[in-house]
Structures are given as C-alpha cells and as structure tokens.
Chain A
Amino acid sequence: KNQVEQSPQSLIILEGKNCTLQCNYTVSPFSNLRWYKQDTGRGPVSLTIMTFSENTKSNGRYTATLDADTKQSSLHITASQLSDSASYICVVSSGYSSASKIIFGSGTRLSIRP
C-alpha cells in the first residue's frame, strides 16, 4: 500500500534553533517528492521537489534530503524564525502513467517560540 508517514506530528523549538522533519514513504514506483509549507489559514506552498536522482536540494534556510534506497526524506530548517511556524507536508508522486497518484503525508506542525 502506498503510504507517506511524517514525524514528529508536532514540534516546538526556540527561535534561532535548527530542526529536522522526517518523511518515510512506501510509494512505488517513485516519481518525485515535494515538501510543502502551509501557514495557518492558507494553502500549501511548495518548498522543494526532488526526483530519484537528487539527494539534496536547498531553498534558503530549508534543505531537503532524499535517500531513495531507504525511502526516507528529511527537511532541515536552519536558524529558525517565527515565520517558520506552519505545517510541513511531505508529498510523494507515484508512477508515470495515467494511473499515477499523489500521496500526501499528514504533516508536521512546527511552532517556533521567541
């Protein structure tokens, strides 16, 4: 069964600290993996997208890694800011045919405290 699991469910850290969010998937065949940031009351915004051949991608203070062998991805946030408080959603796309699917993780709720 295609699944995307994220951990932790929620996380609270102090402003300025670093943190890492995890995403494990059992999706096959794998196409690509995205990390989205969703602020409260808004739609998700794409942070990074990685295909099978990519193992790291950065977007400012956000760095995503992908290990296609272990089917794990992480999102590392450096020097956190209050504006980083949001839900972070891992999304894995499966397949290359018209029957391909997008599978969403349940998200990690990150709170940055001053």
Chain B
Amino acid sequence: DAGVIQSPRHEVTEMGQEVTLRCKPISGHNSLFWYRQTMMRGLELLIYFNNNVPIDDSGMPEDRFSAKMPNASFSTLKIQPSEPRDSAVYFCASSLGSSTTFEVVAASREQYFGPGTRLTVT
C-alpha cells in the first residue's frame, strides 16, 4: 500500500485566494483526520471523519475552513479566503475504526499520517 497520499506537497498562494488540499486515505481505513502543524502551536486536530461523516470539527479555526469527504477514498480541506496566518503544514491521517465515538477511534487505533502539504500564504 502506498500509505496516505496528500497533494499538493507544497502550495504557495497569495492572501485572499482559495486553497484546496487533498487526501487519499489508506484503502480500507474508515477514519480520516486533518491536522495542522506550526512551530508556534505544534500539531492541532482540525476535523475528524468516520465512514465519510464529519464527527468532530471543533478544531476548525473559523468559517474560512471547510472539509469534505465525498467518498471513502478522498477528502479535501479548503481554505477560502486564505490568510498569511494559515501558513502551516497540513497533515491528513487515516485509521481503522468501527465506532463513531471519537475517543475510541482516535485514541485506540493507530493513525497513519501522510507526508503533509506545506502551505505558504503571502
């Protein structure tokens, strides 16, 4: 298996532009997580899907951020409009999980992270 695939690996955009990050989870995994990592704040969980349904989006910073999972093999994280403070590395992770309970899935099942997308907003 190729692991979790993210695209693009690097994205540079101007403030105000729309940015779309993409993720393909490991085949057979039914839980997907979006994280953001910065030097100042470390890793932060943004949103979590189970069986394509958003379960916990309390980490999404504001309305400019939105995430979708139209099917089991694809998810997007969109920022519109982007701002310089959105500059970070965005990770997607997937895991096996059969429960909708966030903790059961996120805590007890190993998450496999993608290589990340480095976003720079100028």
Contact A43 B106 (CB under 8 A): no
Q: How far is the CB of A45 from chain B (nearest CB, A)?
A: 7
Q: How far is the CA of A98 from the CA of B101 in the complex (A)?
A: 5
**Interface presence of B72 (CB below 8 A):** no
**Interface presence of A32 (CB below 8 A):** yes
Q: Which of A41, A102, A107 has the most CB of B within 10 A?
A: A102
Contact A31 B107 (CB under 8 A): yes
Report chain B residues within 8 Å CB of A101: 45
Number of residues in B with C-beta < 8 Å to the partner? 23
B4 contact from A43, A46, A95, Cβ within 8 A: A43
Contact B43 A44 (CB under 8 A): yes
**Interface presence of B49 (CB below 8 A):** no
Using CB atoms, name the residue of chain B closest to A94. B103
Report chain A residues within 8 Å CB of B115: 41-43
Using CB atoms, name the residue of chain B closest to A99. B102
Q: How far is the CA of A39 from the CA of B38 in the complex (A)?
A: 15
Chain B interface, DSSP helix/strand/loop, else mixed: mixed
Contact A46 B111 (CB under 8 A): yes
A32 contact from B93, B102, B108, Cβ within 8 A: B108
A98-B55, A104-B43 in contact; A45/B103 too (CB < 8 A)? no
Q: How far is the CA of A45 from the CA of B111 in the complex (A)?
A: 8
Q: How far is the CB of B25 from chain A (nearest CB, A)?
A: 13
B110 contact from A49, A96, A104, A106, Cβ within 8 A: A49
Report chain B residues within 8 Å CB of A106: 42
Report chain A residues within 8 Å CB of B43: 44, 89, 91, 104
Report chain B residues within 8 Å CB of A96: 101, 103-104
B107 contact from A43, A44, A100, Cβ within 8 A: A100
A43-B114, A104-B43 in contact; A98/B102 too (CB < 8 A)? yes
Report chain B residues within 8 Å CB of A32: 107-108
Chain A contacts to B: CB under 8 angstroms: 31-32, 41-46, 49, 89, 91, 93-102, 104-107
Chain B contacts to A: CB under 8 angstroms: 4, 42-45, 55-56, 91, 93, 100-104, 106-108, 110-111, 113-116
What would 6 A/B residue contacts be, using CB atoms closer than 8 Å?
A: A42-B113, A44-B113, A91-B43, A93-B107, A97-B101, A100-B107
